[in-house]
Structure 1
């Protein structure tokens, strides 16, 4: 048989059987042919034949049988198998404007290495972004003891709308093109499976996989630090749109009570600075003692969480804005839950409290639950890993043997 499953070299029935067994193995621990046969619904001989083929393809590993591990009682010991999760790697990159976070994981998505590279947000020329993304990728792989040849799938999250082909539409000042400067073409020659997605879309992927949206079909994830971004799931699907523009935030420029796509952390810092400048906060207050450039949203939210009255007033104002934003998403998409995600989520409790108080005035439909994410600042990179794992699951049968590590 050919070393590739692409084209016409594998009949459709056999490919379907291989895909079904492999899909079962990807989610299972160790298993026997009987386990796989029961779940997949094919004959025992077909199951064994398919599993042997997947072993030859370096996708499954045969384990010691029940006798060898001391669990044998009588009869012929069953052969046991597992996915070769260490047979290759996937990488997820959060390519923000001011940072690159590259996470290397095994084929099950278990993190091996996470590497952060801070960027100059003003130096965002396409060639610079491409070079730095490659630098972050290689640094993370070196730390994991791997090379690009070990990577089956790469997913990159960018702060721009992204369509199903990984491209971003034109923008009036070319910002989206600078954020997504041809990453697919740049990496596709070295890594076989490459995806580019919007960062908030990937935050929604992460929250659904291992966060506050597990088990939910209808939810909105707000990336809400310096700028707002949103991933929207309706009826079990994370929405994209024709050009990747679902929930594009320019709409909030025209919404009274919001006035733009500035994030919750940005608003907290800005309104605290204004309160200090206007004398509404005592000069001896911790916020007033900070230099203007040092006063950020984290300081405000930490003080609000501690019960500081001045910080709580700022948090309440931010919460009222969040209520308006939530009301808009609630009216458009009818989610069960709105999740505030990203680094700002750690201290967002007082803002959520204020938003819950204000939300009944913003919405006629039943109010969505407001939740803070527990996934932290790495949520986009985590979502990119989950998307890369899915790309590997969907596409690995079309890859030739050398893409999988022989010695793993």
Structure 2
């Protein structure tokens, strides 16, 4: 059992108080400023719905605290040429930009065998990345924490940043996590990730750390910078060895009571599916059962997709089986979640595009609400991208409580 004590992450103040209003306004302005190189009062009013006086007051507050920088004002806001060609006088245009290097966030992907940490600035630009391997699956909690810590520190060194610059950390794990960040340790595999990471990293570095399910973070990352950009009803399937889903409904992550929303154990009850085995696992198993690759060598998903691309009949048959099975999985999801889009992600995403024609053709016969199906373009960074977005959301929501270092 982990020997670390749990710590409480600061939570927003009660709605309706002056402090909560300042927080909400600051969050809205920061979210708008990070989407543009230069922000003006008029632009921020349009993006946030706040009055000019409120926008300027919030910007001045954020400039004083180091989150924004005010730029020179070479133009006048609202100025337009007169009939004589002379510019009309207007209110001076105050311009602001995000101080993107005021601090950094860490997005961490923790798997059973390895962990990867990415350091990003406040615009989400990745500055450094590092990975570390666990020597075994069942290692003590303290050792697993130390490996994660090492990856984080290595990523910070690569980024040229110090631990004091870290404003927030989000770690994605291959286990259900509830809304409070508690791991659902109902299965042995899930207990591997219940190691007291939040308390350990807070005690070592003072970092606010939040845990989230890796598929949930994949959904956030895909909506932010992937093929699901802007889609509010979205499911991302991490589909390599085992299937897991992150679900966004009206733009909001679904967790369920104990964080189990998106777990795929129910697939053992679905006709024509029978388990939550993923594309890589099934491809390897089915190729081995067929006697291995036609030209010899070990069975594996990469080999199946490569042989199919070369026209191998046995590999093409496996791809047909994979497409039909994934269509049943997606149809089951579509029948009770009804997403606009389902994205196939994870280590198999680079190859899974070959399955899309078969999946798309099969779906209308399996569900009355077939979603659009795509494959992720984020590759193996999909979880760290989502973890960075998650950490930035925390920073924006708690900017007034976070102290920036010089």
TM range (shorter): 0.7 to 0.9
Q: CA deviation at 1:186?
A: 1.6
- 2:58 aligns to what SS in structure 1? helix
Match of 1:366 in 2: 369
Aligned pair partner of 1:254 in 269, 272, 278? 269
Task: Describe how 1:3-402 pairs up with structure 2 within 5 A.
Answer: 11-37=19-45, 39-40=47-48, 44-66=52-74, 78-173=93-188, 175-189=189-203, 190-276=205-291, 282=294, 285=295, 288=296, 290=297, 292=298, 295-363=299-367, 365-400=368-403
Going from structure 1 to structure 2, the CA distance change for 1:206 and 1:18 (only over 3 Å counts) comes to closer
For residues 80 and 160 of structure 1, the distance between their equivalents in structure 2, rounded to whole angstroms, comes to 44
Deviations 1:64-91 (A, max 9, x none): 3327xxxxx8868644221111100011
Instruction: Give the aligned CA root-mean-square deviation in angstroms.
Output: 2.8
Q: Normalized against structure 2, the TM-score is what?
A: 0.86
- 2:348 aligns to what SS in structure 1? helix
For residues 342 and 54 of structure 2, the distance between their equivalents in structure 1, rounded to whole angstroms, comes to 46
Q: CA deviation at 1:208?
A: 1.0
For residues 33 and 324 of structure 1, the distance between their equivalents in structure 2, rounded to whole angstroms, comes to 50
Q: CA deviation at 1:54?
A: 1.4
For residues 134 and 234 of structure 1, the distance between their equivalents in structure 2, rounded to whole angstroms, comes to 33
- 2:34 aligns to what SS in structure 1? helix
Going from structure 1 to structure 2, the CA distance change for 1:265 and 1:34 (only over 3 Å counts) comes to same
Matched residue count: 384
- Confirm or deny: 8 A CA contact 1:304 1:350 kept in the other structure: no
For residues 47 and 343 of structure 2, the distance between their equivalents in structure 1, rounded to whole angstroms, comes to 34
- 1:343 aligns to what SS in structure 2? coil
- Confirm or deny: 8 A CA contact 2:132 2:148 kept in the other structure: no
Q: Which moved more, 1:332-341 or 1:138-147?
A: 332-341
Going from structure 1 to structure 2, the CA distance change for 1:53 and 1:337 (only over 3 Å counts) comes to closer
Q: Normalized against structure 1, the TM-score is what?
A: 0.85
Going from structure 1 to structure 2, the CA distance change for 1:23 and 1:370 (only over 3 Å counts) comes to closer
- 2:160 aligns to what SS in structure 1? coil
For residues 318 and 50 of structure 2, the distance between their equivalents in structure 1, rounded to whole angstroms, comes to 62
Q: Which moved more, 1:186-195 or 1:213-222?
A: 186-195
- The unaligned stretches of length 5 or more in structure 2 are 1-9, 76-86
Q: Which moved more, 1:175-184 or 1:136-145?
A: 175-184
For residues 317 and 398 of structure 1, the distance between their equivalents in structure 2, rounded to whole angstroms, comes to 53
Q: CA deviation at 1:123?
A: 3.9
- 1:273 aligns to what SS in structure 2? helix
Q: CA deviation at 1:252?
A: 2.1
- Confirm or deny: 8 A CA contact 2:12 2:398 kept in the other structure: no
Going from structure 1 to structure 2, the CA distance change for 1:35 and 1:170 (only over 3 Å counts) comes to closer
Deviations 1:299-332 (A, max 9, x none): 2112223332221111111112112211211222
For residues 12 and 345 of structure 1, the distance between their equivalents in structure 2, rounded to whole angstroms, comes to 42
Q: CA deviation at 1:17?
A: 4.3
- Confirm or deny: 8 A CA contact 1:114 1:140 kept in the other structure: yes
Going from structure 1 to structure 2, the CA distance change for 1:13 and 1:255 (only over 3 Å counts) comes to closer
Q: CA deviation at 1:133?
A: 0.7
Q: CA deviation at 1:120?
A: 4.1
Going from structure 1 to structure 2, the CA distance change for 1:109 and 1:275 (only over 3 Å counts) comes to same
